[in-house]
Amino acid sequence: MSGRRGRVRLEDVAEVAGVSAKTVSNVIRNYRYVSDATRTKVEAAMAELGYRVNLSARALASNQTGFIALAIPGLDNPYYSRLAGYVIDAAREHDWIVLIEQTGSSEALEKAAVSGAGSQLVDGVILQPDAIGHADLTGRFAHHNLVLIGESGVTASADHVTADAAAAARELVEHLLAQGRSRIATVGIRPQDRPNASELRYRGLSQAVESAGLQVRAEYLIPVSRNRRPDGAEAVDQLLALDEPPDAIICFNDLVGSGVLARLRERGVRVPGDIAVAGFDDNEESRFTYPPLTSVAFDLEAIARRCVQRLLLRAGPDGADQPPVRTVVGHRLVVRGSTVASD
Amino acid sequence: MSGRRGRVRLEDVAEVAGVSAKTVSNVIRNYRYVSDATRTKVEAAMAELGYRVNLSARALASNQTGFIALAIPGLDNPYYSRLAGYVIDAAREHDWIVLIEQTGSSEALEKAAVSGAGSQLVDGVILQPDAIGHADLTGRFAHHNLVLIGESGVTASADHVTADAAAAARELVEHLLAQGRSRIATVGIRPQDRPNASELRYRGLSQAVESAGLQVRAEYLIPVSRNRRPDGAEAVDQLLALDEPPDAIICFNDLVGSGVLARLRERGVRVPGDIAVAGFDDNEESRFTYPPLTSVAFDLEAIARRCVQRLLLRAGPDGADQPPVRTVVGHRLVVRGSTVASD
DNA sequence: ATGAAAGCGCTAACAC
DNA sequence: GTGTTAGCGCTTTCAT
């Protein structure tokens, strides 16, 4: 409550409407058994006084805040800002307000999101677990209403919403093989110690390459620190310095892909003539790069809707008893000029 | 409060520590007059019990929520997602949590941010006023602690933090004139009825063009609906259809610039040879387009810090009495290959 | 279908 | 410096 305004209390409305506070409360919360006459009276009184609930008081009394947290690496990646937008929209439909927590994929901040001070003021948490360990996901202070997003090796007994990253990686490799590429490089964050989204993507790629009877060459796996455009540009320099450069580069997201394309152009390498390039996430930008970037699109809206839906279910009466569910949303390969020459 | 956990109340801590609830409260809120011995005892008890404040209860009792709202058009524009990141960081330093409200530049949602149900649960509001009118900014329910960002014709008696968009536009035009360009087109959202950020930018551009003794040609002012990449692409088609196409295109943001560059390339137009292109916002993407996009960079971090600082001041004891302040943050022209041929 | 009373967990006066 | 006493505005049993 911000104070100053909002002086009008529920009790005041009750007085004007000539009913009890409880009845006003019933009207506000759309309780079923209120006569139409009473409801109309109360609504008139609310309008007249300009009444609005005090959410702090409601939260204290009802033990529900109406907030959910979305803990993601950062909004500076279009993938996450788009996801955030969808989550906000999906949450609004259930009168939930979204708190965005930027974790930077750091263990400390992911932990804080799940069990920090703020965690006790949200009715649920949606988390992308990049660095956090299993113990912290289920520890003493961990939020009981948790949905995990993205591929990860974390096997906490929590709901999980993700796309099939390994399958997506496989399709991408197969597409490149079909274009006659055989020396496939990858550029992306190297997993630290645990199997997170990046690691699983690596595995999917490796498997696909090997199933084709090709070798996964160590010098073609370029680790970067941040999965951003400048990292992609640097990786290109490393790859072009090799005795036998790759003929295809798979980037772990389109941001890296953007940097890779820019650098290849500067270096005078033709795409896809000399080297094909592809990414993940299907950022809008990728339709406007030169050449347009082939990418794997994930159904972010479905992820968002599903997360909110699970949270809602668990916040309900017997939600805690539900067994954890794993939801896999769709993805599709969007082929563009960076892997297939146009005309 | 999420319930289930957090069972530990302040009173429990007091009991374990052997002090009163008030003393515990004093410790938590860093009240000055607490003896070290007491503080240590209380902190030990808190750690032992795993105590954490109930923010809902605190909000209700103290009439301060610890939330501020950031109401911006949308996170899908890197300009705003970056700004949001900075605001979150700045707010965190003062233990404030940021609620992001996406307005889509719609009047209704901007209004809601300032005076809607949610507005009474935040200690302050940072708003980019694209469509809202003066009356709604000061109306009955409007939040009393409001900071406006971005250029706008709105003259509400609220704090205002902005860059000098007109000056920036002027510098950009002068740069283009210095490169020998004379037929300067602009692509961007046309202001509806009131002088918002876009309109002011238009004016700055027009003035600069006219001061140079050139004419502002109506057919060179291309209105678009969303200031996004696809809009830029479409605008190019319109401009190239003219009898005398422009020799420079100023885009109202870098997103549009990205679309313009992509389309010019497709159409076989050389940049900057045939047409120079420039934008606003200095997105990271603009360093990786082909050619890299000349752009005006605004000091977003300064905007964020300043907004939080003003909100903080007004949330303080006699903040309401302070006269509204207008802060102008820096900007700079970042010249790249889209306006000046390299080598 | 509506009312009365209790209390959510904290902070804020005011005493001491 | 620390304790005591009231609420903050709402929801929630339990009656009726």
Identity of residue B269 = V
Q: Measured from the CB, is A178 under 7 Å from any atom of strand D? A: no
Residue B159 sits in the same domain as residue B228 = no
Alpha carbon A137 to chain centroid, angstroms: 17
Q: Measured from the CB, is A22 under 7 Å from any atom of strand D? A: yes
The pLDDT score that the predictor gives to residue B156 is 67
Residue B243 sits in the same domain as residue B293 = yes
Residue B181 sits in the same domain as residue B240 = yes
Residue B203 sits in the same domain as residue B114 = no
Residue A98 has pLDDT above 60, yes or no: yes
What does pLDDT average to over chain A? 89
Q: Are A285 and A254 in contact (CB under 8 A)?
A: yes
What does the DSSP assignment read for B74-102? -TTSHHHHHHHHHHHHHHHTTT-EEEEEE
As a whole number, mean pLDDT of residues B69-82 equals: 94
Residue B19 sits in the same domain as residue B29 = yes
As a whole number, mean pLDDT of residues A11-23 equals: 85
Residue B87 has pLDDT above 70, yes or no: yes
**How is the beta sheet containing A331-334 ordered, strand by strand?**
A221-224, A184-189, A248-251, A276-280, A294-298, A331-334
Q: Find and list the nucleotides of strand D having atoms within 7 Å of a protein beta carbon.
A: 1-5, 7-13
Does any domain span residue B340?
Answer: no
Distance CA B189, CA B206 (A): 15
The pLDDT score that the predictor gives to residue B6 is 47
Identity of residue A212 = A
Does any domain span residue A343?
Answer: no
Does any domain span residue A339?
Answer: no
Q: Which residues from chain A sit within 8 angstroms of residue B56, using beta carbons?
A: 56, 59-60, 65, 121
Residue reference for tokens 């000046």: B340
As a whole number, mean pLDDT of residues B152-159 equals: 76
A216 pLDDT tier (thresholds 50, 70, 90): confident
The pLDDT score that the predictor gives to residue A15 is 84
Rounded to the nearest 5 percent, the helix, strand and coil shares of chain A are 45, 15, 40
pTM of the model: 0.90
Structural tokens at position B103: 């307005």
Residue B319 sits in the same domain as residue B251 = no
Does any domain span residue A49?
Answer: yes
Structurally, how many domains does chain A consist of?
3
CATH code, domain carrying B131: 3.40.50.2300
Q: Are A311 and A126 in contact (CB under 8 A)?
A: yes
Residue B169 sits in the same domain as residue B21 = no
In Å, how far are A73, A99, A327, A328 from A126, measured between CA atoms? Answer: 12, 10, 14, 16
Q: Are A256 and A300 in contact (CB under 8 A)?
A: no
CATH code, domain carrying A29: 1.10.260.40
Across all strands, nucleotide nearest B20 (CA–C1'): D3
B235 CA: distance to closest CA in chain A (Å): 14
Residue A238 sits in the same domain as residue A190 = yes
CB-nearest to B75 from A56, A63, A85 is: A85
Structural tokens at position A36: 């139409």
The pLDDT score that the predictor gives to residue A83 is 96
Q: What does the pLDDT look like over B218-238, one tens digit per residue?
A: 999 999 998 999 999 999 999
Q: Which of A85-94, A164-173, B9-18, B255-264 has the highest mean pLDDT?
A: B255-264
Separation between the CA of B59 and the C1’ of D2 (whole angstroms): 24
Does any domain span residue B335?
Answer: no
**Domain containing residue B90:** 61-163+299-330
The residue of chain A nearest to residue B121, with distances taken between CA atoms, is A1
Residue B1 has pLDDT above 50, yes or no: no
Q: Are A142 and A136 in contact (CB under 8 A)?
A: yes
Residue A4 has pLDDT above 60, yes or no: no
Q: Which residues from chain B sit within 8 angstroms of residue A92, using beta carbons?
A: none
The pLDDT score that the predictor gives to residue A200 is 77
* DSSP 8-state class, residue A222: E
As a whole number, mean pLDDT of residues A219-237 equals: 95
Q: Which residues of A244-279 are buried (b: 16+ CB within 10 A; e: fewer)?
A: ebbbbbbbbbbbbbbbbbbbbbeeebebbeebbbbb
Residue A265 sits in the same domain as residue A285 = yes
Residue contact B98–A100, C-beta within 8 A: yes
Q: What does the pLDDT look like over A19-78, one tens digit per residue?
A: 888 888 888 887 777 888 888 888 888 888 888 888 889 888 888 899 999 999 999 999
Q: What does the pLDDT look like over A264-292, one tens digit per residue?
A: 999 999 999 999 999 999 999 999 999 99
Q: Which residues from chain B sit within 8 angstroms of residue A228, using beta carbons?
A: 284
Residue B94 sits in the same domain as residue B194 = no
Structural tokens at position A136: 């912290």
Distance CA A289, CA A339 (A): 13
First-to-last CA distance in chain B? Answer: 61
Does any domain span residue A80?
Answer: yes
In Å, how far are A184, A236, B129, B170 from A245, measured between CA atoms? Answer: 9, 10, 52, 47
Does any domain span residue A286?
Answer: yes
Identity of residue A276 = A
Residue B120 sits in the same domain as residue B240 = no
The pLDDT score that the predictor gives to residue B86 is 95
Q: Which of A191-195, B305-309, B338-342 has the highest mean pLDDT?
A: B305-309
**Helices (runs of H) and strands (runs of E) counted in chain B:** 12, 12
Extended beta strands in A88-183, E state:
97-102, 124-127, 146-149, 159-163
Extended beta strands in A4-142, E state:
67-72, 97-102, 124-127
Residue A185 sits in the same domain as residue A217 = yes
Does any domain span residue B139?
Answer: yes
Distance CA B248, CA B145 (A): 42
**B145 CB contacts (<8 Å, ≥6 apart)?**
A2, B123, B124, B125, B311, B314, B315, B319
Q: What does the pLDDT look like over B257-282, one tens digit per residue?
A: 999 999 999 999 999 999 999 999 99
Extended beta strands in A61-118, E state:
67-72, 97-102
Residue contact B287–A84, C-beta within 8 A: no
Q: Which residues from chain A sit within 8 angstroms of residue B109, using beta carbons?
A: none
